[in-house]
Amino acid sequence: MSLRLDSGVQFIKGVGPQRSLLLARLGIKTVQDVVFHFPARYEDRRDVRRIAELEEGTVQTVRGVVVSAVETRLRFGKRMLTVVIKDETGILKALWFNLRSDYLSKKIKPQSNVVATGRVQTGRGEKFLEMPHPDVVVLDGEENETTGGIVPVYPLTEGINQSVMRKIISTALASSPPAPEILPESLVKRLGLAPRDEALRFLHSPPPDVDAGDLLRFRTPAHKRIIFEELFLVECAMAIIRSKNTETVPGVALDVTNEQVEGIISRLPFELTTDQRKTLDEIVADLRGAHPMNRLVQGEVGCGKTVLAAMASALTALNGRQTAIMAPTEILAEQHFKNILKMREAFNLEPVLLTSAAKGKDEVRRKIGDGTAALVVGTHALLQHNVIFKNLGLVVIDEQHRFGVLQRAELARRAVKPSGESPNTLIMTATPIPRTLAMTVYGDLDVSVIRTMPKGRVSIETQIVRPSEMGKARLLIHREVKKGRQAFVVYPLVEETEKSELKAAVRMHEVYQKEVFPDLRVGLVHGRMRQEEKAEAMAKFSSRELDILVSTTVLEVGIDQPNATVMMVEHSERFGLAQLHQLRGRVGRGTEKSYCLLAVEYPMSAVAKERVKVMTESNDGFYIAEKDMELRGSGDLLGTRQSGLPALRIANLARDFDILLSARDAAFELVRGNPGLEGPDCAPLRAEIEGSWKERLNLIDVG
């Protein structure tokens, strides 16, 4: 054993400098990173089928002889390899698209005996079955572990194939010491967890007699152990942060009275929903507390979160403190500012706006500094060094996952008094978050959920639009505009490129104005436009000087136009579920029936088909969030870099909810009894958490 776990990956035999650069793309830089690069799934190749026995829609293994291997050059320099495999029962086509090297062409030759494993599907024309991008082993007369056993399948990057990755991991395990135990021995014994090193080796090399069902579902004792450990580390860090936030940091305790609360409610031009009132009560209780509020309010687009933020701001102002509302974009900041401005009499507040494009910035900064600005709405401009609050009592952060951890903390940090007093923090998101994800990403926060919508909101009819149905969809848009309504058309790109065949906003704006709707007024907005140009287009749409607004995903948040009744998303198969749901939320904000048209192009992946299908099944953002997590996995749903959550390497929150609950209970119990994780039994655990969470744990004193 010549390697240590902290040795650089380049020192593993067979890696070297060039491959180490490729592995770095996967976050693999040390031997330990290699050991903790887990299989994404397993293939049970003990059941080798004949071609006639293959079942569509499942991953199967087949053995046969290569009849032909033909490489075809496509447009834009792309290449495709088609390999025809036969046995005594039939013919199968193996296909590889977008080839980057000659590796497969040189490896797979006619008359070779091969074993192919992949997902089986009906071929074009339904003449032969097809297997796109299978894992192929060319037999050299001898069987090996990848032809007839249970085989791990790893996440890869370009330049590293499965056989190379398996070899690297096998070499690392054979030439490095056992992975040390990091969980307290008492916890391992009490919960009957498998030893750490034993579990790691099992995951990479399952024994031949393993129960295939448990293995494929990640439910072997080894899987449960490593999944528990990963979630336990997250929950321990959350417990530590929560403990320090709620027990040691002094907050801005406000003397909020019931009369103040009821006075504001009585002046509202509408009635609060049940969930809004419940959330308001929770916010008021937090504002009265001795420790800083750290609350997340999540709810659908249009459920009334901004109203609650404004009410909290008004209560804060009544107690002599300032509020800062920070939004990720100028569009969203201006939207909040205008909405609060409309109800300033109810809140008895005169908001000010501070963005990079806002007018009178010097005067706004002066009002912030002398305290005459009780409520400031802004963007990252609030983080500038020359923005100094006199008496900040509440920080409201909207769509917080769009801010980095350090950005979110900076505003609160500069508001902390010499005495250590920290402002209250209210976080809002219109991205519904599955319960399991909230328990990890936001385990250090109190969570309020708004599910009920204000009266008068109409449901949105969502339709899939196939290429042959585009004319019908455009007729619907034209009909709605002629009724006095407006429409959005969204594209994934600003401009087309040689590498992309996707329709793009700039060109399609011209097509819509000149060819499709020459009798209508069509505007354009995208992220590359100057802020003044974007603002002008938005203003024209808001004032109904435009009938149709062609856009990129800059529309995802911040547009509130009740008169818009149609949202058409072109190439919707290229968007994620959360994006599609946010875009759909731009319509249905008035009292008229609204439509979301999801235009698709073929071919579509199975996941893309499922995404658009889910959108037609439900308007419930929480249901969609759960399905999103099932389809995408939980590792980076909100962006680990943005949320501060280390990436989950093996745990899947949709699958492992029972383990998450167990890990959370154990972690919070441990931290309650030993907040500093003191003592030799907890020393390895403390070192591991500090290593992974150092930056975030350093932010605990700023809320």
Q: Identify the architecture of domain 460-618 in CATH.
A: 3-Layer(aba) Sandwich (3.40)
Q: What is the pLDDT of residue 615?
A: 95
Q: What is the pLDDT of residue 242?
A: 77
Superfamily of domain 258-450: P-loop containing nucleotide triphosphate hydrolases (3.40.50.300)
Tally of CB atoms within 10 A around 186:
11
pLDDT band at 700, cuts 50/70/90? very low
Task: Find the helix packing angle between 577-584 and 621-632, rounded to 10°.
Answer: 160
Is the model's pLDDT at 84 over the cut of 90?
Answer: yes
Is the model's pLDDT at 498 over the cut of 50?
Answer: no
Cβ contact 417:426 at 8 Å: no
What pLDDT digit, counting tens, does each position of 377-436 carry?
998 888 888 888 888 999 998 875 555 445 555 665 655 555 567 888 898 887 777 777
3-17, 437-451, 584-598, 610-624: range with lowest mean pLDDT: 437-451
Q: What is the pLDDT of residue 621?
A: 83
What pLDDT digit, counting tens, does each position of 97-106 carry?
877 677 788 8
CA separation for the pair 674, 687 (Å, rounded): 15
Q: What is the pLDDT of residue 197?
A: 95
Q: What is the pLDDT of residue 643?
A: 47
Is the model's pLDDT at 637 over the cut of 50?
Answer: no
Range 632-647 average pLDDT: 51
Q: What is the pLDDT of residue 479?
A: 96
pLDDT band at 641, cuts 50/70/90? very low
Q: Who has greater pLDDT, 243 or 388?
A: 388
Is the model's pLDDT at 564 over the cut of 90?
Answer: yes
CA separation for the pair 407, 385 (Å, rounded): 13
Domain spanning 47-148: CATH 2.102.10.10: no
What's the chain's length in residues? 703
CA separation for the pair 486, 498 (Å, rounded): 33
Q: What is the pLDDT of residue 91?
A: 92
pTM of the entire structure?
A: 0.66
Q: Which regions of the chain carry the CATH code 3.40.50.300?
A: 258-450, 460-618
Range 682-692 average pLDDT: 88
Instruction: Compute, in degrees rounded to 10, the torsion defined by CA atoms 178, 183, 187, 193.
Output: -40
Range 229-251 average pLDDT: 80
pLDDT band at 482, cuts 50/70/90? very high
Q: What is the pLDDT of residue 259?
A: 95
What pLDDT digit, counting tens, does each position of 274-317 carry?
999 999 999 999 999 888 888 889 887 778 888 999 999 999 99
515-519, 594-598, 600-604, 677-681: range with lowest mean pLDDT: 600-604
pLDDT band at 701, cuts 50/70/90? very low
Q: Which regions of the chain carry the CATH code 2.40.50.140?
A: 47-148
DSSP 29: -
Is the model's pLDDT at 376 over the cut of 90?
Answer: yes
Q: What is the pLDDT of residue 43?
A: 81
Range 437-464 average pLDDT: 80
What pLDDT digit, counting tens, does each position of 127-184 carry?
788 998 888 888 765 555 556 678 898 998 888 888 899 999 999 999 999 999 999 9
What is the overall mean pLDDT for the chain? 85
DSSP 8: B
534-538, 638-642, 645-649: range with lowest mean pLDDT: 638-642
Contacts of 432 (CB under 8 A, 6+ apart): 298, 299, 300, 581, 621, 622, 624, 625
CA separation for the pair 287, 134 (Å, rounded): 58
Range 32-60 average pLDDT: 88
